[in-house]
Homo-oligomer: A and B are copies of this chain.
Amino acid sequence: MEENVERNMESNTIFIGKKGTMAYVLAVITQFNQGADDVVIKARGKTISKAVDVSEIVKNKFVNTLKVEAINISTEEIVTENEAPMKVSAIEIRLKK
């Protein structure tokens, strides 16, 4: 299932989207199992809550030694065709094993 989750292999980034929370939990765990020392979880808008859920579930249920190394929030602009640019909040959670 984790193959379907969008991610950037180089920087070990998991982008939170519309899939269920556990799909992203699995994606994060897979990154760590493949040797990553840190994984960055990114989300925008309403999926921000899911990003926090994913971090907490990985930390509390799967990787007890995990540390939340940094959390950053920001505002991003989404440009879509035919519509005015829309501002949306974003979060980046950096997890370290």
Query: Chain A residues in contact with chain B, CB under 8 A?
Result: 45-49, 52-53, 55-56, 60, 68, 71-75, 89-91, 93
Contacts and interface: CB of A to CB of B under 8 A. Distances in A.
A8 to B, nearest CB: 22
Oligomer copy total = 2
Given A68-B73, A71-B73, A89 B53 contact: yes
B46 A89 contact: no
A47 B43 CA distance: 14
B93 A52 contact: no
Nearest to A55: B73
B71 A56 contact: no
Contacts of A71: 71-73
